[in-house]
Chain A
Amino acid sequence: MSSSAGAQGAPIKSTGLHIGEPAPGVKKVDPIIVADNITRTFGGLTAVQVEHLEIPRGAITALIGPNGAGKTTLFNLLTGFDKPDTGEWTFDGQGISGIPAFKVARKGQVRTFQLTKALGLLTVLDNMKLGAKGQSGESLARALFPWFWSKQEKQIEERAIELLTRFKLDAKKDDYAASLSGGQRKLLEMARALMSEPSLVMLDEPMAGVNPALTQSLLDHILDLKTQGMTVLFVEHDMHMVRHIADWVVVMAEGRVVAEGDPHEVMANPAVIDAYLGSHHDEDLGNLDTGVMNAIKELADDDADDDKR
């Protein structure tokens, strides 16, 4: 398993992540998340039904699938923001099924949101500082006495400014986050997540609503996470991006994992094409029986008449 991003041009992909043939639920050499039997229903609708899923450590995994496939629901379940009907999963070998979101985050699994959640009326720097873990000044009793936490606060501020510089947001550090553009908010959210020094970063549609100029820098930042030894799992619709940076792709449709594999292979997989385009996309509609065709013609004629009036 190699893991480093190319300096320029195409990033170097991590390979050899799986054991055996790539198929839904395939075993991984070194999984960071192992999930079993996760189901989540909303009324009569089964949003997620995943039998077995392993996310490889130290690689970038993309979770793709058409709208309504259950990607975000699975995200919410894995991060403790939603409770599953059944299922168990481990993170770094520890069972974390059913524990609240804040405890999941403390274990080093941090997420971002599809609709960016920058804390608008906090400054950019405060947003960053909030991300740091284990702050003694966050206890009510100690907060009153600055000498307990001012030293730690200084270290956190230094780290925050360093990260902001990397994300080119340092000039904005004293502005309210509400004044940032959509793309800058995405960057801030990602930078803030990094303040907690996570081992797994989960990004929910990091490219949604980001202009092309920022896309490249966001991609570089994501590749950078891998270089620094973090594992990335992201949900994305932009196939170009998936092909470009993902080492492994998990495809969901109708709540299930329908395919897994290396990005180029997986996109040629018939199950994936079916999921996106429907299983009858390459069939000719001409051989419908004549009764149906006549009915369709009549409807078309009616429409034409309506238009004339």
Chain B
Amino acid sequence: MIDWILLLSNAAQEIISPTTAAYALAALGLAIHFGFTGLLNFGQAGFMMLGAYGFAIATLTFEWPVWAAMLTGVVASIVFALILGIPTLRLRADYLAIVTIAAAEIVRLLFTTNTFEPVTGSANGLQGYKGGFEALNPIPPGTYGFGPWVYNEYDWWVRIFGWSLVAIAAFVTWRLFKSPWGRVIKGIREDEDAVRALGKNVYFYKMQSLILGGVFGALAGMIFILPRAVVPSNYQTSLTFFIYAILLLGGAATVFGPIIGSVIFWVLLSFFSGFVARAVEVGWLPFLSNVQAGQLRFILVGIAIMLIVIYRPQGIFGNKKELAFVK
């Protein structure tokens, strides 16, 4: 028989999991790129990867303190944004899409290759970089919590840290898009030439947006690796598309959409994949093997993206008139 309580409690854990926070932050970065500025960034996985590896390599290879390691990841993502933006931001939006998707793959393959094995750990990735972060934990050892949310002191520290970053980033984004700066950015989304004709340096604004969203991606990458190891295969193109699914679900041109979208996405994904796996075990789905059941969730994500784009292009929180996706 299926243990519904276990399924539901696993799903409920996703509400505050650090992975959900990481995806929320990455989706917020993408909201700045795609939803507000109209930059088609298909390489958010690359920004996350640079944040993750920047943090891990600075800690392990250079033995830098936590703040310097975090700064390394952030600086790496800024440099990446400059490399992507300088040649492509003067061109049409589609070119940025092609360049970012390719650049993210190049970054992933560079971290996977054996040539830099002593530094990057190649396909096995890196671990053992959490010491400094653990040492900053103010929570005394023990287990805390209630219901499905019972964790030890490190797990709570990761969650508090991750969600605090999300909250700060959301506040900054909200503040920015209520300001004249945000107005220029949204104007660029609508028509670059019109904004240019009003005396705004469009190229410079697009670069600022690319960097800001990229830095959010890098910070998301750091939250992402705190409960696990850094493994290059986690940063495939599908990661970017999961983040797009979250963004479209919540609403592309909103601040809270990506965050709530991430929570809904992970709760549903965890519930469905748990349900399908158990259903196969007890023989409810005789036409599926265990391996096939594991892949089913990718199909579900694909269908979900299509349904959202067709029937609710503004997402859950988006303004129906302000369709950022379909014009």
Chain B proximity of A263: nearest CB distance (Å) = 27
Selected contact of B187 from candidates A105, A113, A119, CB within 8 Å: A119
Chain B proximity of A124: nearest CB distance (Å) = 13
- Identify the stretch in B107-115, B152-160, B172-180 within 8 Å (CB) of chain A at 4 or more residues: B172-180
Instruction: Report Cα–Cα, A180/B105, bound state, in Å.
Output: 44
Instruction: Report Cα–Cα, A239/B99, bound state, in Å.
Output: 48
Instruction: Report Cα–Cα, A85/B224, bound state, in Å.
Output: 52
A220 CB-CB contact with B under 8 Å: no
Chain B proximity of A235: nearest CB distance (Å) = 15
B195 CB-CB contact with A under 8 Å: yes
Q: Which residue of B lies closest to A198 (CB)?
A: B199
Verify B196–A130 contact, CB threshold 8 A: no
Instruction: Report Cα–Cα, A106/B197, bound state, in Å.
Output: 9
- Identify the stretch in A46-54, A139-147, A210-218, A297-305 within 8 Å (CB) of chain B at 4 or more residues: A139-147
- Identify the stretch in B15-23, B60-68, B200-208 within 8 Å (CB) of chain A at 4 or more residues: B200-208
Instruction: Report Cα–Cα, A204/B186, bound state, in Å.
Output: 24
Verify A121–B180 contact, CB threshold 8 A: no
Selected contact of A176 from candidates B178, B212, B321, CB within 8 Å: B321
- Which residues of chain A (72-90) have a CB below 8 Å from chain B? 79, 81
B27 CB-CB contact with A under 8 Å: no
A222 CB-CB contact with B under 8 Å: no
- Which residues of chain A (128-182) have a CB below 8 Å from chain B? 129-131, 133, 135, 137-140, 143-144, 146, 149, 153, 176, 178-179
Verify A119–B180 contact, CB threshold 8 A: no
Instruction: Report Cα–Cα, A189/B195, bound state, in Å.
Output: 11
Instruction: Report Cα–Cα, A119/B175, bound state, in Å.
Output: 21
What residues on B are CB-neighbors of A105 within 8 Å? 196-199
**Do A192 and B183 form a contact, CB below 8 Å, given A81-B193, A119-B191?**
no
Selected contact of B182 from candidates A127, A133, A143, A176, CB within 8 Å: A143
Selected contact of A117 from candidates B181, B193, B321, CB within 8 Å: B193
Q: Which residue of A lies closest to B201 (CB)?
A: A102
Verify B198–A110 contact, CB threshold 8 A: yes
Instruction: Report Cα–Cα, A122/B253, bound state, in Å.
Output: 12
Instruction: Report Cα–Cα, A102/B321, bound state, in Å.
Output: 29
Chain B proximity of A59: nearest CB distance (Å) = 22
How many residues belonging to B are interface residues under a CB distance threshold of 8 Å?
Answer: 32
A196 CB-CB contact with B under 8 Å: yes
Instruction: Report Cα–Cα, A233/B313, bound state, in Å.
Output: 42
What residues on B are CB-neighbors of A143 within 8 Å? 175-176, 179-182
Partner-A contacts on B (CB < 8 A): 172, 175-176, 178-184, 186-187, 189-191, 193-202, 208, 212, 321-324, 327
Please provide the 6 A-B residue pairs with the shortest distance between their CB atoms, ordered closest to farther. Answer: A143-B181, A137-B180, A105-B199, A117-B194, A143-B179, A119-B190
Task: Give 28 A-B contacts (CB < 8 Å), ordered by A residue.
Answer: A101-B193, A101-B196, A102-B199, A102-B200, A102-B201, A105-B196, A110-B198, A112-B197, A119-B186, A122-B186, A122-B190, A126-B183, A126-B187, A127-B187, A130-B195, A131-B198, A137-B179, A137-B180, A137-B181, A138-B181, A138-B184, A139-B181, A143-B176, A143-B182, A144-B179, A176-B321, A178-B321, A193-B198
Sample of 19 more A-B contacts, CB < 8 Å, known A103-B199, A110-B197: A100-B196, A102-B196, A102-B201, A105-B198, A113-B197, A122-B187, A122-B190, A126-B187, A129-B180, A131-B198, A135-B180, A138-B183, A140-B212, A144-B172, A146-B175, A146-B178, A176-B321, A179-B321, A189-B194
Partner-B contacts on A (CB < 8 A): 79, 81, 100-103, 105-106, 110-113, 117-122, 126-127, 129-131, 133, 135, 137-140, 143-144, 146, 149, 153, 176, 178-179, 189, 192-193, 195-196
